[in-house]
Amino acid sequence: MIYFTCDECGADRQASSRYAGELLRCRKCDAETVVPDSSTRAKPEKSEVAENLYVLVIVAVAVLLGVAWFVLDIVLNVFAGP
Ligand SMILES: [Zn+2]
């Protein structure tokens, strides 16, 4: 993730590294800013933690769904009989 500020309004922006060098429209002032190759401002600790937590929750839900599906499959096979 690249953290930078909008040239027009100075708003804190962030973009995925794959958008480096590309124009990205600012949600706040609607100006197009070139995404720098690397972060030009410190990354916000809080949102980074929130982002990691978000990913963790998604992974946890995916694992739970996988386990639930696995268990359901076994239960259905047992009740379906031979
Ligand atoms: Zn802006």
Give the pLDDT confidence of 51-81 residue by residue, as tens digits. 888 899 999 999 999 999 999 999 998 887 6
State pLDDT tens for residues 4-41. Answer: 999 899 999 999 999 999 999 999 999 999 999 999 88
CA of 1 to the centre of ligand 1 (A): 18
Predicted confidence at residue 82, as pLDDT, reads: 67
* Residue 68 structure tokens: 């639930």
CA of 8 to the centre of ligand 1 (A): 5
Give how far Cα 7 sits from Cα of 1, 72, 82, Å. 18, 54, 68
CA of 10 to the centre of ligand 1 (A): 6
Q: Does 82 fall in a domain?
A: yes
- Cβ(38)–Cβ(1) under 8 Å? no
Q: Does 78 fall in a domain?
A: yes
- Residue type, position 12, single letter: D
- Please say if the pLDDT value at position 42 is more than 80: yes
CA of 40 to the centre of ligand 1 (A): 15
pTM, rounded to two decimals: 0.51
Predicted confidence at residue 24, as pLDDT, reads: 94
Look up the domain containing 81 and give its range.
45-82
Cα separation, 26 vs 12, in Å, equals 10
29 shares its domain with 53: no
